[in-house]
Structure 1
Amino acid sequence: MIEPEPPHLRKPPLTTAEKLARLGGIGLVLVIAAGAFAYVNGSLDPQRLTPARVVDVFEHNNGVHPGYRRNHPKGICVAGYFESNGAASTLSRAQVFAAGRTPVIGRLALPTGNPYSPDSAAPIRSFAVQFTQPDGQQWRTGMNSMPVFPVGTVQAFVDLQKATAPDPKTGKPDPAKPPAFFAAHPEAQPFLAWVKTARPSASFVTETYNSVNAFVLVDAQGKRQAVRWSLVPAAKGDAPAPDAKDYLQQDLSDKLASGPQRWDLVLTLANPTDPTGDASKAWAGEHKTVNAGTLVVEGDSAQLDGACRDINYDPLVLPNGIEGSDDPLLAARSAAYAASYMRRTSEVGQLEKPPAQEKQP
């Protein structure tokens, strides 16, 4: 049992500004989405900003770790299947929703930019999944445990990065800048409300993972229905993170040793007035949901030689019956993921060894 620290050694709780600074690099899903969105849509000069150049920013901020993903680099491969109950087959003609099993290869990860980050470095966890249908078509999705993005436009996100950037002298953001930014951006309030109470979890398997972006299901007659989806865990728990650097991978392996881990795939159907092109906006009010089936994880393996290693979890790799929505961040993520993927897969022979004082989980 770990004894609690004496009161005089306890660290004060993080301020909102410090939490946001810590969250500043949590996802290709966030920073790269902003930059690549601008590139794909031509709203910035490609000579100044491209997906590759945005990946350069991650390398500048986090260091270069050859062979690792440029973001979410600390993770673990998982494998299993999706057991569809057929309930979503009336909404989409995708084979994955027909009753039966679809094999999956996934990756659970910590959204930071450093493969040696402590597991408590950020409260967000991520889950990427690849479903491979009998006809060979694939559905790839990258989900995060946060409910919404902080802002909905490129300019706002760039301004957020500036407002929460740590000062080289103090390692913390200027305390005056985040409040000024959020006063000018009320759309960030849902994310702020979440981050104020968010804390690192003790386990991957008790987290709910959200698509955040909207997608469109298309049925056999061509009828379209916008949705967001979530993986809702069967396992329950709200334990605080252990006082240890690495614990998520061991916890997952321990839980899998006692049996498969399960999540329900829950589709939230958009109402006619719900925004589908702005991931910073929650869908308010009552919504119809459909439990499409259960994702079952049966085993795990190290990410450096596991089946997930060479998968680019591009959110626009979609089977017939699932389409991207009008959310511009989807095209942005797709473009930037490709740039990161090409870079890391060219470094196979240069795989970085962990620092001497560190141990791989």
Structure 2
Amino acid sequence: MSDDVGKPRLSASAAALRYGGIGAATLVLACAFAYAGGWLSPGRLTQDRVISGFEAANGKHVGFRRNHAKGLCASGWFDSNGAGAALSRAALLAPGRVPVAGRFAFAGGMPFVPDGPGLVRSLALQFKPAGAQEWRTAMVDIPVFPFSTVQAFYDQMISSVPDPKTGKPDPARMKAFADAHPDFVAAVGVVGQRAVSSGFANSTYNALDTFLFVDKAGATVPVRWSAEAVTPFAPAAKPQPADPNYLFDALISDVARHPAQWKMVVTVGEPQDPVEPDKAWPASRRKIDIGTVTIDKVASEDGGGDGGSCTDINFDPAILPAGITTSADDIPSARSAAYARSFTLRENERGQKPPSAVTRQEVNAGGKS
């Protein structure tokens, strides 16, 4: 836990100033992992407005994802132990092995941000069973999302766009947002107390949103899932200014020595549990280990390495197999719309994209930049 445990809660204005700074190096914008923009009706948010908001906050980086811009491709497999089949009829939850494509990244829209322990890490996975429907999921290493609605997320992002005169967010706008959103301040406090691990390989990643498992009889239960690291936890160390990719380099080196693994753990909710991703469920909720994800190869997004290419994969969290569906939590559909727009933009910009921060040479050299 952080040193903030047991300290008095920050006022709304203080929390806004502490957590609301611009850039991927700050907590709130680092948490902004495209949970935005899916309402297409007149007068409401569109994916275009949300993507424009990302570009205003982070700058426009042609050819890159508008969020989770700095990343590394990966591949491996999922060994299902069959425990999930009691709650869901999804074919990939039956006992057996399923190929997996993945991507490790930082939240935020800056593709060349230097690695640092304060950046929110993400793991996106595409489960690809032969002859059956895919499952795609995008997870991060924070316990809750600081926003319950897309509108709140968008409003906070716009309030933190840098003032052209100072290059920093306007503190008055940030304070006004925090004062109007006490749930945001509370959620940011929870995020700020999380224990940060030393690297990608020993981080636990959470999907945060609420979904439904549907069994063979059509009965449903609310669920949330996580990828819990098998590699023992070690606390984060200080950044290494001499190597701006030191966390990615460590992951490349780790996977070259031995595969990295995560237990896929499903938390089963109760009908009264909140669906909003800024609200945690009680720790007493039942947890089911449904199998193990193994990553044994990584690759630069520009090619190089044996981890395949994730460049053409849209890790849309609304792509779900029969047996898993969305709930009353409407964030996944909003993410789906924003992800689709981001994908279209970067596909159209493919020929203009500069090399990624984590290069093919770096991967081929085993993480030695």
Q: What is the TM-score when the length of structure 2 is the normalising length? A: 0.83
Contact 1:213 1:330 (C-alpha < 8 Å) held by counterparts: yes
Segments of 4+ in structure 1 off by > 6 A? none
Deviation at 1:164, TM superposition (A): 3.8
Q: What is the TM-score when the length of structure 1 is the normalising length? A: 0.85
Deviates more, 1:17-26 or 1:278-287: 17-26
Aligned to 1:23: 27
Q: Percent identity?
A: 40
Aligned to 1:135: 131
Contact 1:110 1:122 (C-alpha < 8 Å) held by counterparts: no
After superposition, residues 133-212 of structure 1 pair within 5 angstroms as: 133-197=129-193, 201-212=197-208
SS in 2 for 1:80: strand
Question: 1:281 and 2:279 equivalent?
Answer: yes
After superposition, residues 1-361 of structure 1 pair within 5 angstroms as: 17-21=17-21, 22-26=26-30, 29-30=33-34, 33-34=35-36, 36-37=37-38, 39-40=39-40, 42=41, 45=43, 49-120=45-116, 122-197=118-193, 201-235=197-231, 236-244=233-241, 245-276=244-275, 278-305=276-303, 306-353=308-355
Letter aligned with residue 309 of structure 2: A
Give distance in 2, aligned partners of 1:63 and 1:123.
18
Letter aligned with residue 291 of structure 2: G
Letter aligned with residue 352 of structure 2: Q
- Give CA-to-partner distance per residue, 1:16-39, whole Å, 9 cap, x none: 624332234336635xx34x14x2
SS in 1 for 2:20: helix
Deviates more, 1:70-79 or 1:345-354: 345-354
SS in 1 for 2:85: coil
Give distance in 2, aligned partners of 1:159 and 1:66.
24
SS in 2 for 1:89: helix
Contact 1:202 1:247 (C-alpha < 8 Å) held by counterparts: no
Aligned to 1:4: none
Deviates more, 1:170-179 or 1:123-132: 170-179
SS in 1 for 2:277: coil
Q: 1:64 to 1:183 in 2, by over 3 A?
A: closer
SS in 1 for 2:77: strand
Give distance in 1, aligned partners of 2:150 and 2:245.
34
Letter aligned with residue 262 of structure 2: W
SS in 2 for 1:25: helix
Contact 1:147 1:191 (C-alpha < 8 Å) held by counterparts: no
Contact 1:201 1:241 (C-alpha < 8 Å) held by counterparts: no
Aligned to 1:9: none
Q: 1:267 to 1:311 in 2, by over 3 A?
A: same
Contact 2:16 2:175 (C-alpha < 8 Å) held by counterparts: no
Q: 1:66 to 1:331 in 2, by over 3 A?
A: same
Q: How large is the RMSD of aligned CA atoms in angstroms?
A: 2.5
Structure 2 residue ranges without an equivalent (≥5):
1-13, 363-368
Give distance in 2, aligned partners of 1:68 and 1:217.
33
SS in 2 for 1:343: helix
SS in 2 for 1:88: helix
Letter aligned with residue 345 of structure 2: R
